């Protein structure tokens, strides 16, 4: 099993859920820049205050900031034998920074594939349940635009190591597809 894995996919594809399940199955840390940034906002740190408005608008926070956060996290002991990255890299500049920062290449990229109508429906439903600040209709549209413009080019960037997984179905079904694809 590869132990340096990256999750890619549009907002609402289920990356966070599936990444957490896979990380625990593989016993590697689940490193989510979205979670780290939201934690900083909630804790009201300098970083949190700097990024809150950007996140609420659905835009990307600066590459320098996230690259620094990820570098620091990857330097921790528990990331030595592998990790699962979720939400980073989100553009080609971040992917190049990751390349420079780590000696071992990303072994596998799991791309969760979900069509746009399904994504919008899921994100609007999550907005009602969890009240995440960036889950309103305007921001959702913006995040999808940003995904297509900035993040989707990473599919070609990673090329051969990308496993495309159908992300529509129950959480367990999607997880089985991922596990099966990784075992091949």
List residues with catalytic annotation: 15, 90, 126, 132, 143
8 Å CB contact between 79 and 29: yes
User: Which of 22, 31, 37, 165 touches ligand ADP (CB under 6 A)?
Assistant: 37
Task: For the CB of residue 184, give the shortest distance to ligand ADP in the complex, in Å.
Answer: 26
Q: State the DSSP code for 58.
A: T
* Residue 117: count of CB within 10 angstroms of its CB: 8
Task: For the CB of residue 135, give the shortest distance to ligand ADP in the complex, in Å.
Answer: 8
Instruction: Choose between 1 and 137: whose C-beta lies nearer to ligand ADP.
Output: 137
Classify residue 42 as exposed, middle or buried by CB count within 10 Å of its CB (0-12, 13-18, 19+): exposed
What percentage of the chain's residues is helix, strand, coil (to nearest 5)? Answer: 60, 10, 25
User: Which of 20, 25, 54, 124 touches ligand ADP (CB under 6 A)?
Assistant: 54
Binding site for ligand ADP (CB under 6 A): 11, 33-34, 37, 54-55, 58-61, 66, 87-88, 90, 94, 134, 143
């Amino acid at each position: 099993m590869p132990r340096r894995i990256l999750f890619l996919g549009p907002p609402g594809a289920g990356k966070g859920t599936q990444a957490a399940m896979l990380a625990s199955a593989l016993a590697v840390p689940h490193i989510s820049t979205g979670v780290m940034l939201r934690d900083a906002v909630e804790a009201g740190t300098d970083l949190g205050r700097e990024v809150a408005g950007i996140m609420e608008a659905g835009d990307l926070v600066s590459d320098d900031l996230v690259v620094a956060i990820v570098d620091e996290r990857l330097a921790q002991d528990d990331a030595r034998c592998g990790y699962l990255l979720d939400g980073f890299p989100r553009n080609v500049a971040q992917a190049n920074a990751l390349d420079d920062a780590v000696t071992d290449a990303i072994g596998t990229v799991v791309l969760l594939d979900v069509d746009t109508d399904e994504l919008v429906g899921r994100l609007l439903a999550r907005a009602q349940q969890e009240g995440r600040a960036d889950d309103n209709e305007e921001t959702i549209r913006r995040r999808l635009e940003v995904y297509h413009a900035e993040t989707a080019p990473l599919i070609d960037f990673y090329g051969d190591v990308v496993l495309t997984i159908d992300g529509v179905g129950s959480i367990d079904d999607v997880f089985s597809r991922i596990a099966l694809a990784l075992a091949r």
